[in-house]
Amino acid sequence: GLAERNVGTDFIEDIVQRIFKALAKNGISVFLVSQASSENSTSIGVRNADADLACEVLNEEFAKEIEMGEISPIQAEKNLATVAIVGENMKHTPGIAGKLFGTLGRNGINVIACAQGASETNISFVVDSKSLRKSLNVIHDSFFLSEYQVLNLFIVEMVDTMCRKQAATACIDFN
């Protein structure tokens, strides 16, 4: 992420462009992006097999900025899992994100990163892999056993993410 330094939006746009360009040049695909403007930080999710190379490539790309203290060194957070809830009717139903994150918080599950697409049909979030099964269970109970059943939601898990990911995926139909 970026150091605690107030930087302009041009700097942030340049950083993001350079991240994707450097990773693409090295054949590394990004499957999740979470950007917090208030902290001027960007988190990315890549395949498990690409984690070490992604950090190496990005630390090399931003060596000058790291040396100057403008950016903190890039590090992989390991043993994480990405969960996505997907449903066409989500964008027309207020409160889905609140219910999701409230359910996780009440059950002691810490969300490390989150992202929602512009289509509003998908909310992805990252948790410690030790919390994956509990996350899936409490989300299922919260949505399946509630008035939200009509959303036709799916839960998708992607194991070991944020610079680590394995190709394990499971879907649960809430209909």
C-beta neighbour count of 104 within 10 angstroms? 22
Residue 158 has pLDDT above 80, yes or no: no
Residue 42 has pLDDT above 50, yes or no: yes
pLDDT of 161: 38
Q: What is the DSSP letter of 151?
A: G
pLDDT of 144: 75
The answer to whether residues 154 and 140 touch, using CB atoms and an 8 Å cutoff, is no
Q: Helix crossing, 51-61 with 9-25: angle to 10°?
A: 130
Read off the pLDDT of each residue in 107-134 and give the average, rounded to a whole number: 89
Residue 151 has pLDDT above 50, yes or no: no
The single residue listed with the structure tokens 């999701």 is 100
- Which of the residue ranges 3-17, 63-77, 82-96 has the most confident prediction, judged by mean pLDDT? 63-77
pLDDT of 8: 47
For the chain, the C-alpha Rg in angstroms (whole number) is 17
Q: Helix crossing, 132-144 with 96-106: angle to 10°?
A: 130
